[in-house]
């Protein structure tokens, strides 16, 4: 039952993520981010230009070691997206999700003073029984639609950043200069 719930979750997440013209979700056997090739990921969300916006994982059931490993891998992959966004001066938090059985949770990833901070944000469920069709399911759909809106916003900001002229990577010296105002002195004539 949990495997079918996971498959249903994958289908519904893919459907909601690819509902717009400018964002599409594609499941792939390996992540195509440079430096991360060969790492298997369940869902890669890309925009219409092929820019990767999020990596998401699905687990059929909860096992401590494999779930921790999957979450760690997903965070590392999503960190590459966050770094690429920062290189384009798109300073935004990155949101993806991990799904275990019929439960999922969004993970917010942000960099603060050179330290990457990840925290669980909004939990959601996929019902496995008719009795579970309640406000929690409504909240799940609202949360997924808000996530889609967030991804579309980031996609647009990345698109605009890529159309700007390339910014030079200039390193400035770590020196503090103080402007000194000197009084002009009159020269005496002899």
Reported as a single tens digit per residue, the pLDDT across 144-181 is 899 999 999 999 999 988 887 765 555 666 666 565 66
How far is the C-alpha of 132 from the C-alpha of 112, rounded, in Å? 39
Is 126 inside a domain boundary?
Answer: yes
Cβ-proximal residues to 35 (8 Å cutoff; 6+ apart), any chain: 80
Is 186 inside a domain boundary?
Answer: no
Q: What is the mean pLDDT of residues 57-71?
A: 76
Is 131 inside a domain boundary?
Answer: yes
Is 15 inside a domain boundary?
Answer: yes
Is 188 inside a domain boundary?
Answer: no
Domain span at residue 53?
2-163
How many folded domains does the chain comprise? 1
Is 183 inside a domain boundary?
Answer: no
Reported as a single tens digit per residue, the pLDDT across 3-33 is 433 333 333 343 333 333 333 443 333 334 4
How far is the C-alpha of 106 from the C-alpha of 77, rounded, in Å? 15
Residue 41: count of CB within 10 angstroms of its CB = 23
Half-sphere exposure (Cβ direction) of 169: Cα atoms closer than 13 Å? 3
């Amino acid at each position: 039952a949990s495997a079918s719930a996971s498959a249903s979750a994958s289908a519904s997440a893919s459907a909601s993520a690819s509902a717009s013209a400018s964002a599409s979700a594609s499941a792939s056997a390996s992540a195509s981010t440079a430096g991360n090739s060969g790492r298997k990921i369940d869902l890669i969300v890309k925009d219409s230009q092929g820019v990767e916006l999020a990596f998401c994982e699905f687990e059929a059931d909860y096992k401590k070691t494999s779930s921790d490993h999957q979450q760690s891998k997903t965070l590392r992959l999503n960190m590459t997206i966050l770094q690429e966004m920062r290189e384009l001066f798109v300073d935004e938090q990155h949101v993806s999700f991990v799904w275990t059985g019929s439960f999922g949770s969004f993970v917010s990833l942000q960099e603060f003073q050179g330290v990457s901070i990840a925290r669980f944000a909004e939990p959601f469920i996929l019902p496995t029984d008719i009795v579970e069709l309640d406000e929690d399911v409504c909240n799940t759909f609202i949360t997924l639609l808000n996530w889609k809106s967030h991804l579309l916003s980031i996609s647009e900001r990345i698109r605009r950043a890529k159309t700007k002229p390339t910014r030079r990577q200039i390193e400035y010296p770590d020196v503090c200069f103080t402007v000194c105002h000197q009084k002009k002195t009159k020269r005496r004539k002899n």
